[in-house]
Structure 1
Amino acid sequence: MSSLTQPASAFRQPAADGYSLGGFQWRHAQPDPQRPLVIINAATSVRCRYYSRFADYLFAQGFDVLTYDYRGIGESRPASLRGFSASWSDWGRLDFEAMLQRAAEQFAGQPVDVVGHSFGGWAVGLAPSAERVRRVVMVGAQFAYWRDYAAQQRWQLFGKWHVLMPLLTRVYGYFPGKRLGWLEDTPAGVVDDWSTRTPRFEHRPSGRSLASLPFAQVRAATLAISLTDDPFGTVAATERLLGYLTHAERLHLRVAPGDISVDEIGHFAFFHDRFREALWPIALRWLGQGQLGAEVPGQIIS
């Protein structure tokens, strides 16, 4: 790991409804209004600590970085999840929005970029202040429409996430994912959004409460990276999400494991340190310059 001039520090940030969110920030000692701030939006029920090495990497390359946990997860978990109210829409319109407010207050004048993993890419378009974002890198981004899952694994994933997960949630009052080894424990409202079998987010339980989705406000230069062996982030799923970003510059890069001479990448491994040399520079160049390199692996889909 590259040496750092300043280690990450923990912070608390209140959302608009007063809920206290926990996270970590990597901030250079000398302020610079030209230095971009990168906010990392986690996947559903993945703790923000998972992205620490990637955050270290961006920091060492000259960015300030924020990671945080959505309400109900990790540093933002309450004493009990039974009866705890939280939804996908809350994670975007309140929690990611709180990070944009922190950016405005604590990193005033700095460009704001976002890296969004899985649901974290979708969360960008749920924040009322989404127009503040300059550039976005999405990895495996989608909102779990089951028919978009990879054909070979579709029914297995359907049974796991759209049948068993909601059934267990009804029994426990939340999804006990941690004891099953299936991600972190997850609030019931998030499970409702995830498991609802509709292709339109505005028809999901929490999506229905949004009079109009803020996606049209997103004008960030957006790179969506999908992996050919990711059963969630298929071409159909990625393009479904990008279809909501009607006013953003959009580019979809499809990468196969063979493009970087490995056997697998999947839905999670992009952020593993072993891809520091092969994959992380793709995100770095987009965040820094808003373009792909001349020898970028993969194929441009759209």
Structure 2
Amino acid sequence: MGFQETHALENARDSVALTSDVQDESFREPAADGYPLGGFTWRHASPDPQRPVVIINAATSVRCRHYSRFAAYLFVHNFDVIIFDYRGIGESRPKSMKHLQASWTDWGALDFEAMLNRAQREFPGQPIDVVGHSFGGCAAGLGASGSAIRRLVTVGAQFAYWRDYAPEHRWRMFGKWHLLMPLLTLFCGYFPGKRLGWLEDTPAGVVRDWSTPSARYERRPSGRVMLAKTGHLPFSNVRANTLAISISDDPYGTIPATERLLDYFHNAQKTHLRIEPQDIGEQEVGHFAFFRSAYQATLWPIALTWLQTGALAPNTPGRQVPRS
């Protein structure tokens, strides 16, 4: 029986569990600088030092609740799970966005770092794994405690260098994210994405990082500040067994974009899996759909197997991208 058939049978059983009342608990956690962050935990009743805890890092300005079904899926497969919102987003949004100068580096070095500390405190002795979507994969390399990460799965992960966008979408995306977004942010004091139907409202510092047209993270505004303060970026702390998943019709997560970020994880063991939608019997997947429950039987088992074993299952859809 092939990969898809086997997991289709397994996930048929899992669907029953996922539609039952899988309970999560909300929490408040101070970031490394004291900023109050909100999120949710899926926690098994009995502690188990062999059970991993997974932290899910969201994409830029995507609420953590987008990942709830995937979190429940991991919980059913014997993981404890933490999802959270970066400062300025969802459960971590302040009353006013105009005075919040949060940056991408704040989201990684302060907010994600707080989740690493929470995982170690709330689940002592358990292995810590991370799933990072889009910028969430970059955030995984910005925490000072990155050495605590055992396994890392990224999906469409990159830090938005415009020349890496898919050629057929590049100029439209450049106009939207590198011209219009910063102009609206200058006018409003933050990016009013919700009113436009473009993601959540987004802090000005994040917009500056995203829209700066540099191929190097350390040349983004907050990256420059971090480098000046510490003399280095903490990506090299991460020694995790890392799977980077990219989808061929994702205009952000192209091969160059994925490889550009992977190159920062100097000390990690890295595998880059490139998937065509046709590999899983679909016409399109794109940048955001991986975590929708429609892909529970086809895409989710790839991440699950890596988190469970640190390897790809035989007959996994897609192909491995050779790395230099």
TM-score by length of 1: 0.99
Query: Quick check: 1:253–1:298 contact (8 Å CA) kept in 2?
Result: yes
Amino acid at match of 1:135: R
Q: Which residue of 1 aligns with 2:11?
A: none
**Partner-residue secondary structure (3-state), 1:253:** strand
When the two structures are aligned, how many residues end up with a matched partner? 302
Query: Quick check: 2:22–2:72 contact (8 Å CA) kept in 1?
Result: no
Distance 2:124 2:171 in 1: 47
In 2 relative to 1, CA 297–196 (structure 1 residues): closer, same or farther, beyond 3 Å?
Answer: same
1:133-174 CA-partner distances (Å, limit 9, x unpaired):
000000000000000000000000000000000000000000
**Partner-residue secondary structure (3-state), 1:102:** helix
Distance 1:227 1:21 in 2: 31
Q: Which residue of 1 aligns with 2:239?
A: 219
Distance 2:88 2:80 in 1: 25
Distance 1:83 1:232 in 2: 29
1:114 aligned to which of 117, 124, 130: 130
Distance 1:216 1:267 in 2: 26
Q: Which residue of 1 aligns with 2:55?
A: 39
Q: Is 1:289 equivalent to 2:291 in the alignment?
A: no
Distance 1:301 1:122 in 2: 19
Q: Which residue of 2 aligns with 1:273?
A: 293
Amino acid at match of 1:299: R
Runs of 4+ in 1 over 6 A off after TM superposition: none
Gaps of 5+ in 2: 1-14
Distance 1:23 1:108 in 2: 19
Shift of 1:2: 3.9
* Identity rate, percent: 65
Q: Which residue of 1 aligns with 2:106?
A: 90
Q: Which residue of 1 aligns with 2:164?
A: 148
Q: Is 1:249 equivalent to 2:269 in the alignment?
A: yes
Distance 2:168 2:120 in 1: 45
Distance 2:143 2:151 in 1: 15
TM-score by length of 2: 0.92
Q: Which residue of 1 aligns with 2:188?
A: 172
Q: Which residue of 2 aligns with 1:300?
A: 320
1:214-243 CA-partner distances (Å, limit 9, x unpaired):
011110000000000000000000000001
Q: For the aligned residues, what is the CA RMSD?
A: 0.8
Q: Which residue of 1 aligns with 2:216?
A: 200
**Partner-residue secondary structure (3-state), 1:31:** coil
Distance 2:311 2:31 in 1: 33
Query: Quick check: 2:53–2:81 contact (8 Å CA) kept in 1?
Result: yes
Distance 2:288 2:21 in 1: 28
1:63-85 CA-partner distances (Å, limit 9, x unpaired):
00000000000000000100212
Gaps of 5+ in 1: none
Shift of 1:6: 5.2
